[in-house]
């Protein structure tokens, strides 16, 4: 081989090595921007949806549905009575089963316009309030279920049918356990047989995907329900403090 050819070959070899190395190096610092897989999502029982790159992306997605003027009109009008009636049967059942009483202080997590709060009040649980990213006075105050705006031990009862919207399911549950008083009850409606819609942030494949997140509570009841696409009701009871 002629000398210039060897030089050219070596030059190209080094150049490509350099390019490969710099490519590899430029990629790794981007990783922290992505939602890192957490322990619960790596199990097969619950999985965080791919494609949500950051908490800001997540908020934008949720607000897109919550602020949709057409949907808000539907929720406040022709949806209202139908939903309140269904929630009414759920809460009456929970009260008849001893999980809820007229004296309970109750919170509905991810309540949007507040149909579940209206149902609780109609059932006789007057000290009840809802919480969502967008407030809907007077029934729903502003709050993110990943960081509830309430003190520890604030509620006797918490209800939610938006577990599938949680980007960080373990934080969703930790906040419930923090704000429930000892002995308090959490009732969650989840989808096991069906998949959520495009606004869901996680997919649940087994009851254990939720129960293992409750570190300080006991599973008190599991039953099938027919709740707006959600098929399973899980009732947890927070443990009393040890004396």
Interface ranges with ligand NAG (CB under 6 A)? 64, 67-68, 102, 124, 152, 178
Beta-carbon contacts of residue 34 (< 8 Å; ≥ 6 apart): 53, 54
Which residue, judged by CB position, is nearest to ligand NAG in the bound state? 124
- Closest to ligand NAG by CB, 124 vs 182, is 124
Task: Give 38's Cβ-side CA count (13 Å radius).
Answer: 15
Backbone angles phi, psi at 11, to 5 degrees: -60, -45
Shortest Å distance, C-beta 202 to ligand NAG: 21
- Closest to ligand NAG by CB, 31 vs 152, is 152
Query: What are the distances in angstroms from CA 13 to CA 9, 24, 138, 157?
Result: 6, 17, 70, 68
Shortest Å distance, C-beta 229 to ligand NAG: 21
Query: What are the distances in angstroms from CA 125 to CA 85, 104, 118, 186, 236?
Result: 15, 6, 10, 15, 19
Shortest Å distance, C-beta 29 to ligand NAG: 30
Q: Which residue has the tokens 């997540």?
A: 58
Shortest Å distance, C-beta 133 to ligand NAG: 12
- Closest to ligand NAG by CB, 143 vs 204, is 143
Across-strand partners of 222?
Answer: 234
Shortest Å distance, C-beta 72 to ligand NAG: 10
The rounded distance, in Å, linking the Cα atoms of 12 and 14 is 5
Closest CA to 52 of 233, 225, 201, 208: 201
- Closest to ligand NAG by CB, 61 vs 139, is 61
- Closest to ligand NAG by CB, 171 vs 178, is 178
Shortest Å distance, C-beta 124 to ligand NAG: 2
- Closest to ligand NAG by CB, 100 vs 191, is 100
The rounded distance, in Å, linking the Cα atoms of 111 and 130 is 5
Shortest Å distance, C-beta 64 to ligand NAG: 4
Q: Which residue has the tokens 């980007």?
A: 167
């Amino acid at each position: 081989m002629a000398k210039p050819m060897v030089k050219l070959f070596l030059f190209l070899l080094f150049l490509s090595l350099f390019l490969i190395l710099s490519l590899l190096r430029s990629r790794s610092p981007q990783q922290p921007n992505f939602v890192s897989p957490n322990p619960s999502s790596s199990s097969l029982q619950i999985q965080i949806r791919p494609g949500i790159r950051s908490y800001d992306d997540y908020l934008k997605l949720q607000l897109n549905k919550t602020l949709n003027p057409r949907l808000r009109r539907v929720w406040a009008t022709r949806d209202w009575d139908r939903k309140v009636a269904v929630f009414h049967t759920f809460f009456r059942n929970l009260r008849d089963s001893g999980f809820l009483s007229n004296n309970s202080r109750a919170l509905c997590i991810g309540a949007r316009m507040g149909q579940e709060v209206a149902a609780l009040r109609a059932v006789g649980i007057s000290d009840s309030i809802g919480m969502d990213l967008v407030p809907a006075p007077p029934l729903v105050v502003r709050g993110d279920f990943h960081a509830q705006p309430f003190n520890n031990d604030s509620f006797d009862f918490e209800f939610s049918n938006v577990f599938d919207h949680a980007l960080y399911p373990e934080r969703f549950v930790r906040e419930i356990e923090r704000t429930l008083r000892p002995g308090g009850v959490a009732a969650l409606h989840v989808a096991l047989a069906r998949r959520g819609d495009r606004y869901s942030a996680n997919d649940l494949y087994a009851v254990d995907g939720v129960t293992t997140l409750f570190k300080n509570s006991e599973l008190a009841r599991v039953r099938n329900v027919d709740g707006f696409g959600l098929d399973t009701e899980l009732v947890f009871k927070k443990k009393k403090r040890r004396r």
